C-alpha cells in the first residue's frame, strides 16, 4: 500500500486531504506541524508528502530541504493559501514536485498525487528567494504564472509575456531576470510602442557618429547595453514589418550592427518580449511575421487580468497602501472597510492592477484611508463606465467581520452603482426600486425612514 504523509496545521484541510486520499486507497499519516512531520518520518518513510508551507515551528520549505538530504527522497507537493513568486521559485529550486494554491480542487490534487508517484523527476531548478516580492497574489491562475517563471527563468530561451494592459507584464519580465542564471547582469526595458519606427533601429542596435543628421556621437543601443543580462521588449506587437526582419536576424545570429557601422558585433542577451495584442491573429492577418513569432515565443507566460483573480484584491490593496504610505510619506492608513472592499470587488477593472493602484493612491491622498465608500464611488465613477449588464455572481463578501444590515445594504447599493458607472436610473432599475428610493438610501438619514422629496443628484 502507498504511504502518504499529510502535514498541515489546519485541521479541516488536513482531514479533507487525508480523507480524499484514503478514499482512493492510500494509507495516510497525519501531522499538524513540522515537528510532528519529523517524528512521522523517523517512524516510517512515506512514498509521498503533501505539506502546507506556513506552519508554527517551521515551514514546508524547511521540510522540503530536509527531505532532499535523504537517500531516495520521496516527492513532495506543497500547499499554500499565500503563494508568492519567491516561495514558488525556492520550492522549485529545492526539487518540489508541485505547488498547489489553496483552495484547490480535490480532483486536481489527486491527479498531481498520482503523477508524483508515477514520475519522481523533480521540477527544473530555480534560484532562491530574493528581496520583496515583485508580484502580489495567491490565486491559482497567478500561482501558475509563478511556476512558469520558476521553470523557464534559468533557461536561456526567449520568453513572450501575454496579458492585457496593466496586468504587470514588466514585473514578470523582471522576475524572469531576477531568477535567471545571470541576475547580476543588466535589465534593459524598451517600450517599442513609444518609439517612432524611424528611431527603433537606433534605439535597439545603436549608431555611429554621422550615421544620420542628428547622430553627433556614437551611441550604444539597448541590446549592447543589456549584454550579459536581459532586454525587455514591451509592446512587441507595435513594431513595423520592416523592423521585424531586422529583429529576426538578430535573434537568429545574436549579432548587432549599429547604424553606420561597417561590421557587426556579437552580444549575449536574453530576450523577453511582451504584448497585449494577439500575435497569432496578427500572423494570420499578415501583419506579424510567423518566423519571428516562433523565434520570440520560445516560451509563453500568460498573465490573468485582475477580474479573473479578484480574490487577490485585498492583498493588492494592502500592498498599494503600504507602498504609497512609504513613497508619499502619508500617515499609516487603517484597514479598508468591508463596504470599500465590496465596492472594489464589484468594479470590472478594465485597467487591471495598474488602475487599482491609481484608485488606491488617489483615495489615500484625498481621504487618508480606504474607509469611505462614497469617496471610492466618486473616484471609480470618473473612470470609463461600462454598459450595465448582469451583476457579478457575488458582489459582496459574506465573510467575517459581518456588517449591520443597514451597512450591508448600502455597500451593495454602492457596488451596483459602480457597476452602472454612476448611472442612478440604471442602478435603481437593477435594484428593483424607485430612483427616489435609491437617492434616499444613499443619503442614509439618521432618523426614521420617512419619505422626502427627491433632490437633484
**Block means of pLDDT (10 residues each) for the chain, length 457 residues?**
89 90 90 90 89 86 84 86 74 80 85 80 39 74 92 93 94 93 92 81 78 69 90 92 90 84 85 94 93 94 94 91 86 82 89 93 88 83 45 46 63 75 78 80 53 40
C-alpha cell at 438: 435609491
282 burial (CB, 10 Å; 0-12 / 13-18 / 19+) is middle
Q: What pLDDT does 387 receive?
A: 38
SS3 labels along 114-131: HHHHHCCCCCCCCCCCCC
pLDDT of res. 405:
66
* pTM tops 0.85, yes or no: no
Residue 217, pLDDT score = 74
Q: What is the pLDDT of residue 71?
A: 75
DSSP H or E stretch at residue 50: strand 48-52
Helix axis angle, 352-367 to 373-381, nearest 10°: 130
pLDDT at 403: 55
Give dist(CA 32, CA 41) in Å, integer.
13
- How far are the Cα atoms of 11, 241, 251, 289 from residue 246, in angstroms, in the given order? 59, 9, 9, 11
280 close to 236: Cβ distance less than 8 angstroms? no
Give the Cα separation of 446 and 444 in Å (integer): 6
What is the reported pLDDT for 102? Answer: 82
454602492: which residue's cell? 414
Q: Which residues contact 111 (CB under 8 A, 6 or more apart)?
A: none
Yes or no: say if 316 and 168 are a contact pair by the CB < 8 Å rule.
Answer: no
- Give the pLDDT score at 116: 86
Peptide bond into 17 cis (omega under 30): no
Burial 64-82 (b: 16+ CB within 10 A, else e): bebbeeeeebbbbbbbbee
Residue 59 to residue 85: CA distance in whole angstroms = 16
Quickly name the fold that domain 3-138 has: Rossmann fold (3.40.50)
User: 3.40.640.10, 3.40.50.300, 3.30.830.10, 3.30.300.30: which CATH number matches 155-302?
Assistant: 3.40.50.300
Instruction: Count the Cβ atoms, other than its own, within 10 Å of residue 192.
Output: 22
Question: What's the confidence (pLDDT) of residue 157?
Answer: 93
Q: What is the residue extent of each domain of the chain? A: 3-138, 155-302, 307-443
Q: Note the pLDDT of residue 163.
A: 94
pLDDT at 131: 42
Asked whether the domain spanning 155-302 has the same topology as the one spanning 3-138, the reply is yes
Amino acid at each position: 500500500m502507498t504511504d502518504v504523509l499529510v502535514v498541515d496545521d489546519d485541521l479541516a484541510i488536513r482531514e479533507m486531504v487525508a480523507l480524499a486520499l484514503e478514499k482512493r486507497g492510500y494509507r495516510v499519516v497525519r501531522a499538524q506541524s513540522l515537528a510532528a512531520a519529523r517524528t512521522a518520518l523517523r517512524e516510517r518513510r512515506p512514498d509521498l508528502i503533501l505539506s502546507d508551507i506556513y506552519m508554527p515551528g517551521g515551514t514546508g520549505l524547511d521540510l522540503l530541504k530536509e527531505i532532499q538530504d535523504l537517500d531516495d527522497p520521496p516527492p513532495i507537493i506543497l500547499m499554500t493559501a499565500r503563494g508568492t513568486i519567491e516561495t514558488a521559485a525556492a520550492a522549485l529550486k529545492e526539487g518540489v514536485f508541485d505547488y498547489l494554491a489553496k483552495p484547490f480542487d480535490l480532483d486536481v490534487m489527486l491527479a498531481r498525487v498520482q503523477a508524483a508517484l508515477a514520475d519522481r523527476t523533480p521540477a527544473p531548478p530555480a534560484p532562491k528567494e530574493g528581496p520583496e516580492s515583485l508580484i502580489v497574489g495567491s490565486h491559482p491562475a497567478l500561482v501558475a504564472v509563478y511556476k512558469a517563471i520558476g521553470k523557464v527563468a534559468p533557461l536561456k530561451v526567449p520568453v513572450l509575456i501575454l496579458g492585457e494592459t496593466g496586468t504587470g507584464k514588466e514585473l514578470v519580465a523582471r522576475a524572469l531576470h531576477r531568477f535567471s542564471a545571470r541576475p547580476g547582469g543588466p535589465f534593459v526595458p524598451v517600450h517599442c510602442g513609444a518609439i517612432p519606427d524611424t528611431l527603433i533601429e537606433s534605439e535597439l542596435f545603436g549608431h555611429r557618429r554621422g550615421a544620420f543628421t542628428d547622430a553627433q556621437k556614437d551611441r550604444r543601443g539597448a541590446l549592447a547595453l543589456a549584454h550579459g543580462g536581459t532586454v525587455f521588449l514591451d509592446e512587441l506587437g507595435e513594431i513595423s514589418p520592416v523592423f521585424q526582419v531586422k529583429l529576426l536576424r538578430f535573434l537568429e545570429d545574436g549579432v548587432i550592427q549599429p547604424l553606420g557601422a561597417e561590421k557587426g558585433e556579437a552580444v549575449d542577451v536574453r530576450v523577453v518580449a511582451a504584448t497585449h495584442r494577439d500575435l497569432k491573429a496578427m500572423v494570420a492577418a499578415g501583419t506579424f511575421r510567423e518566423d519571428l513569432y516562433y523565434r520570440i515565443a520560445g516560451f509563453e507566460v500568460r498573465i490573468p487580468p485582475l477580474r479573473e483573480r479578484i480574490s487577490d484584491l485585498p492583498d493588492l490593496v494592502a500592498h498599494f497602501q503600504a507602498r504609497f504610505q512609504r513613497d508619499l510619506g502619508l500617515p499609516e492608513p487603517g484597514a479598508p472597510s468591508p463596504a470599500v472592499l465590496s465596492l472594489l470587488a464589484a468594479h470590472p477593472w478594465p485597467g487591471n492592477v495598474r488602475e487599482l493602484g491609481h484608485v488606491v493612491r488617489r483615495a489615500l491622498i484625498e481621504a487618508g484611508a480606504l474607509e469611505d465608500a462614497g469617496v471610492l464611488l466618486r473616484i471609480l465613477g470618473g473612470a470609463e463606465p461600462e454598459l450595465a449588464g448582469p451583476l457579478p455572481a457575488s458582489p459582496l463578501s459574506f465573510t467575517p467581520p459581518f456588517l449591520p444590515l443597514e451597512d450591508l445594504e448600502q455597500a451593495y447599493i454602492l457596488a451596483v452603482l459602480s457597476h452602472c458607472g454612476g448611472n442612478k436610473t440604471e442602478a435603481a432599475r437593477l435594484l428593483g426600486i424607485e430612483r427616489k428610493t435609491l437617492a434616499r438610501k444613499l443619503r442614509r438619514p439618521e432618523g426614521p425612514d420617512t419619505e422626502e422629496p427627491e433632490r437633484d443628484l
